[in-house]
Amino acid sequence: MALGGAGTEGRVAVRDLVKRFGPVAAVDGVSLDVAAGEFVALLGPSGSGKTTILMAIAGFEFPTSGRVEIGGEDVTWAPPNKRNLGMVFQRYTLFPHMSVVENIAFPLKMRGIGRAEREAKAQAALATVRLEGYGARRPSQLSGGQQQRVALARAIVYRPRVLLMDEPLSALDKNLREEMQLEIKHLQQRIGVTVVFVTHDQTEAMTMADRVAVLDRGRLQQVGAPRDLYEAPATPFVAGFIGETNFLPGRAKAAAVAGAPVAVALDGGGEAVATAVGAVPAGVAVRVAVRPERVALSPPSADTLPGTIAEAIYAGVATTCIADIGGDRRLRARIAAGTGLVQWEPGARVGVGWRAEDARAFAAAP
């Protein structure tokens, strides 16, 4: 069941979007391009503006300023039924008195499609989501994951140019949720539809999306492939929101250009190295960000920060060591199982360090 995501039909563009509710800017000057056939996740905490952006694309919210384009057409003020979009919500809103196939065919009925044709298209959509043979059942006779697939089939049955999804997996339990993440990703790849997907779950976004747009307080922080966001966060917010990160405040010992190593005198004592994110003037306050798996523990030496293991938390695939490095500062170091590295015990004296390329130095805003 191929859809119209190829070419330009499925392209989505948000231009300088602003949405105010009274004095509050829910979305504050966001611009974003989504290529046809691409899967983009809008990721952020509650109140970051992600759902408001989705509603503006869908036509359920009109912006205070800015515009929305779909397939190169300005649809900023067009009503939802003129945009040819599919939508899947957190609540599946299936009609309990209708059969599964009737639920899927309902959008076609509203478009005036004849009974035989809409039945055939509904059955084809049902096969696309791997629920052949379930058409006669009622929604109450299906599991949560099956109901989710029915909602997907209903959203794609009329071949929308873009599929919008607003936290559609949040009602599922952990195992089913993880299974459905891959189901939806494989379905999207198979049918080629453009997807804009809202979630507050970083793992979900990283698993499913080609690119992730990270939002905070209505502003776009960074857009990129999951690996880029994890390995090269552009802001302290992204570094802290995507994955787990240690932060250490300090001051740059010398000026550094973007991408160059910078030595940092840490608040509370000690020195660290990191890669400068943007230009870092000498003496400016910085925050060093380093992932736990990039922190190396070794016997104490002059080249490392002195520390003491406060806790060692075994979790099967890895052991997380919490090292006290003085001045109420604690760092997490993660040692993967099977690496042959020393498994440190609480009370052990250690040296804590990392390579410059494994840490990021963010200069404080002027």
Let me know whether 137 and 21 are in one domain: yes
Asked if residue 6 belongs to a domain, the reply is no
Asked if residue 63 belongs to a domain, the reply is yes
- Beta-bridge partners for 350: 307
Let me know whether 358 and 269 are in one domain: yes
Q: Which residues of 226-260 are buried (b: 16+ CB within 10 A; e: fewer)?
A: beebbbebbbbbbbebbbebbebebebeeebeeee
Give the structural domain span for 253.
Answer: 244-363
Asked if residue 238 belongs to a domain, the reply is no
Asked if residue 2 belongs to a domain, the reply is no
pLDDT at 183: 87
Final residue of a domain: which of 231, 253, 271?
231
Let me know whether 163 and 215 are in one domain: yes
Final residue of a domain: which of 198, 231, 264?
231
Q: What is the mean pLDDT of the chain?
A: 92
The span from the CA of 100 to the CA of 95, in Å, is 9
Asked if residue 236 belongs to a domain, the reply is no
pLDDT tens profile 116-132: 998 899 999 988 888 88
Phi, psi of 56 (to 5 degrees): -70, -40
CATH number at residue 215: 3.40.50.300
Let me know whether 37 and 155 are in one domain: yes
CATH number at residue 291: 2.40.50.140
Q: Which residues of 178-205 are buried (b: 16+ CB within 10 A; e: fewer)?
A: eebbebbbebbeebebbbbbbbbbbebb
Asked if residue 215 belongs to a domain, the reply is yes
Let me know whether 67 and 144 are in one domain: yes
pLDDT at 45 over 90: yes
Let me know whether 166 and 212 are in one domain: yes
pLDDT tens profile 335-354: 998 888 888 999 999 999 99
pLDDT tens profile 234-277: 999 999 999 999 999 999 999 999 999 999 999 999 999 999 99
Q: Are strands 65-70 and 12-21 parallel, antiparallel or unpaired?
A: antiparallel
How many domains would you assign to the chain? 2
Q: Which of 298, 258, 308, 295 is nearest to 278 (CA)?
A: 258
Let me know whether 332 and 356 are in one domain: yes
Query: Residues 93, 89, 129, 140: is their CA dihedral positive or negative?
Result: negative
For residues 159-178, give the mean pLDDT. Answer: 87
Query: Residues 176, 178, 181, 186: is their CA dihedral positive or negative?
Result: negative
Asked if residue 1 belongs to a domain, the reply is no
The span from the CA of 278 to the CA of 35, in Å, is 28
Final residue of a domain: which of 231, 260, 276?
231
Query: Residues 218, 223, 226, 228: is their CA dihedral positive or negative?
Result: negative
Task: Find out whether 127 and 109 touch, Cβ atoms under 8 Å.
Answer: no
pTM of the model: 0.89
Let me know whether 250 and 182 are in one domain: no
Let me know whether 142 and 226 are in one domain: yes
Let me know whether 207 and 286 are in one domain: no
